């Protein structure tokens, strides 16, 4: 799946492979490298997580940066171009910083969901709201889905849950459908069900 970018230095010309520090031009190979980096990041960030860790905007950006900086120049950098996928328009670049700040301020005011942790339905509902907001924000050039899910897993872990199991939803395309409804209609009910089903203590 390709993005319609106005103009960007991010991709190797004529491909959907991002320019990268290892000069990889093979799509399957770069996916393997990304998967290994993400696995390492899950290990690192979950082992470093404590009840004191502030899951604020800096933390979110750091997840992207520290996970992918050995591979990508754009790790931890918000995009400065508008992006769409299918018929979905993600947050306009000019509003990205304001919207990001708003989302993380809201999360802080909800105490990073600690008030909802004892009620799985409520926790799923609030987490789906924030996941939908981050999907619509789409702040990075690439790897938004994986970093958004990593971030939400850290929220889950900090509140006494395990990382969310999205396997069925992602394999079965329900996750994409839920993303489309979140971005185009601000309707996160499908996302909420996916999260509820994949969430366990």
Instruction: Tell me how far, at minimum, the Cβ of 38 lies from ligand ATP, in Å.
Output: 9
Q: CA–CA separation, 196 vs 121, rounded Å? A: 7
By beta-carbon proximity to ligand ATP, the closer residue of 49 and 176 is 176
Longest dimension (CA), the chain: 49
Q: CA–CA separation, 142 vs 17, rounded Å? A: 10
By beta-carbon proximity to ligand ATP, the closer residue of 2 and 201 is 2
By beta-carbon proximity to ligand ATP, the closer residue of 96 and 117 is 96
The answer to whether the CB of 76 falls within 8 A of the CB of 64 is yes
Instruction: Tell me how far, at minimum, the Cβ of 52 lies from ligand ATP, in Å.
Output: 28
Binding residues for ligand ATP (CB under 6 A): 85-86, 88, 135, 142-146, 148, 175-176, 179-180, 183
Instruction: Tell me how far, at minimum, the Cβ of 60 lies from ligand ATP, in Å.
Output: 14
Residue 39 is classified by DSSP as H
The answer to whether the CB of 73 falls within 8 A of the CB of 21 is yes
Instruction: Tell me how far, at minimum, the Cβ of 146 lies from ligand ATP, in Å.
Output: 3
In this structure, what are the phi and psi dihedrals at residue 6, rounded to the nearest 5 degrees?
-65, -60
By beta-carbon proximity to ligand ATP, the closer residue of 133 and 142 is 142
């Amino acid at each position: 799946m390709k993005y319609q970018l106005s103009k960007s230095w991010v991709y190797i010309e004529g491909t959907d492979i991002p320019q990268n520090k290892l000069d990889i031009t093979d799509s399957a190979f770069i996916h393997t490298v990304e998967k290994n980096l993400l696995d390492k990041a899950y290990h690192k960030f979950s082992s470093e997580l404590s009840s004191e860790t502030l899951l604020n905007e800096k933390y979110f950006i750091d997840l992207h940066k520290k996970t992918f900086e050995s591979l990508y120049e754009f790790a931890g950098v918000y995009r400065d171009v508008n992006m769409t996928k299918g018929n979905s328009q993600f947050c306009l670049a000019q509003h990205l910083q304001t919207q990001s700040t708003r989302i993380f301020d809201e999360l802080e005011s909800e105490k990073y969901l600690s008030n909802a942790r004892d009620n799985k339905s409520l926790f799923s509902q609030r987490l789906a709201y924030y996941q939908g907001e981050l999907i619509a924000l789409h702040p990075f050039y690439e790897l938004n889905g994986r970093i958004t899910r990593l971030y939400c897993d850290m929220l889950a872990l900090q509140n006494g849950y395990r990382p969310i199991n999205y396997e069925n939803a992602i394999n079965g395309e329900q996750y994409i459908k839920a993303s489309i409804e979140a971005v185009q209609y601000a309707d996160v009910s499908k996302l909420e069900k996916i999260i509820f089903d994949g969430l366990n203590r």
